[in-house]
């Protein structure tokens, strides 16, 4: 019981250590953080649209694909890069940062959509409301926000933990290309399935009552496979980028802070010096 209390206390201290987050975001190249944030917001907005449905069984479609599938692999690939370079806990904190950015984006878009506009003519803002899902039909943005945030956070944690866990089987060459690819493929497949299942279940079963569990499983598997294919295509580029970061000592300031906080011994937080 005492160990559980200490773990909870340490977790809260780490979670609200905003200096840690500041050092992390400063250490990750700005272009990567920008792509991560934009992809996260766009992915969750695109998830409101069903782009394809097939394999109809009776009155229900067994498989459907949302627009978010075509962007989520970018988010997970960056998460793999962050996990590889900075550790699982850093990737989880990056994931929470993305969830906050996405929430703020939806809130501000909702505020803008709620303001009636008659310029330059009545109904001129209808196209804006429709594009971002504020038209009052289908699954509403706040429902998408709740569903995507829960799925995004849980799947991000799963992705980071699985990535580190698989890495422990590569003791001889943990920084090798095979190790990185294996970790990325397995963690992405599992993480994406979790993300797709939780999101689809909440958005299109609990809120909208569109799909049954069989359809949700089919959507989750197909989405994870599409995202895995994208991961396979682009993971060699991500691996080379990680090696370049390590060679250029990217994140040195963050690692030094981790050492100072006596967290360097935690393999899930600090993978190389």
Residue 266 lies in a domain: no
Q: In the prediction, which pLDDT does 75 show?
A: 92
CB contact set of 98 (below 8 Å; sequence gap of 6+)? 36, 37, 40, 75, 152, 156
> Is a pLDDT exceeding 50 seen at residue 272?
no
Residue 250 lies in a domain: yes
Residue 8 lies in a domain: no
> Is a pLDDT exceeding 90 seen at residue 209?
no
d(CA 197, CA 217): 7
Residue 272 lies in a domain: no
> Is a pLDDT exceeding 80 seen at residue 49?
no
> Is a pLDDT exceeding 90 seen at residue 3?
no
Over the chain, what is the mean pLDDT? 81
Residue 3 lies in a domain: no
84-91 mean pLDDT: 89
Q: What percent of the chain has pLDDT over 90?
A: 27
- Tens-digit pLDDT profile for residues 161-202: 898 889 888 888 888 888 898 999 999 899 999 998 998 899
- Tens-digit pLDDT profile for residues 63-76: 677 788 888 889 99
212 or 55, greater pLDDT: 212
Residue 247 lies in a domain: yes
- Total count of domains within the chain: 1
Least confident span in 30-44, 68-82, 107-121, 225-239 = 107-121
Residue 22 lies in a domain: yes
Residue 153 lies in a domain: yes
- Tens-digit pLDDT profile for residues 121-152: 666 566 656 656 666 555 566 777 888 889 99
> Is a pLDDT exceeding 70 seen at residue 216?
yes
Using 50, 70 and 90 to split pLDDT, how confident is the model at 267? very low
Residue 40 belongs to what domain range? 17-260
264 or 98, greater pLDDT: 98
Q: In the prediction, which pLDDT does 168 show?
A: 86
């Amino acid at each position: 019981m005492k160990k559980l209390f200490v773990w909870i206390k340490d977790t809260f201290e780490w979670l609200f250590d905003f200096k840690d987050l500041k050092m992390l975001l400063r250490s990750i190249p700005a272009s990567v953080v920008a792509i991560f944030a934009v992809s996260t917001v766009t992915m969750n907005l695109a998830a409101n649209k069903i782009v394809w449905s097939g394999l109809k069984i009776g009155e229900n479609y067994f498989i459907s694909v949302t627009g978010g599938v075509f962007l989520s692999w970018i988010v997970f690939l960056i998460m793999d890069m962050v996990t590889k370079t900075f550790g699982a806990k850093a990737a989880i904190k990056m994931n929470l940062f993305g969830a906050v950015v996405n929430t703020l984006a939806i809130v501000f878009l909702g505020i803008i959509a709620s303001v009636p506009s008659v310029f330059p003519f009545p109904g001129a803002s209808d196209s804006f409301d429709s594009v971002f899902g504020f038209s009052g039909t289908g699954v509403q943005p706040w429902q998408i926000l709740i569903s995507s945030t829960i799925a995004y956070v849980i799947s991000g944690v799963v992705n980071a933990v699985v990535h580190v866990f698989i890495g422990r089987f590569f003791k001889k060459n943990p920084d090798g290309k095979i190790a990185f690819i294996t970790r990325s493929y397995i963690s992405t497949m599992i993480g994406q399935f979790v993300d797709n299942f939780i999101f689809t279940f909440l958005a299109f079963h609990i809120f909208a009552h569109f799909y049954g569990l069989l359809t949700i499983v089919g959507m989750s598997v197909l989405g994870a496979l599409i995202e895995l294919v994208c991961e396979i295509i682009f993971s060699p580029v991500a691996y080379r980028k990680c090696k370049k970061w390590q060679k250029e000592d990217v994140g040195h300031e963050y690692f030094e802070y981790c050492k100072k906080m006596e967290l360097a011994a935690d393999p899930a937080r600090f993978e190389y010096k």
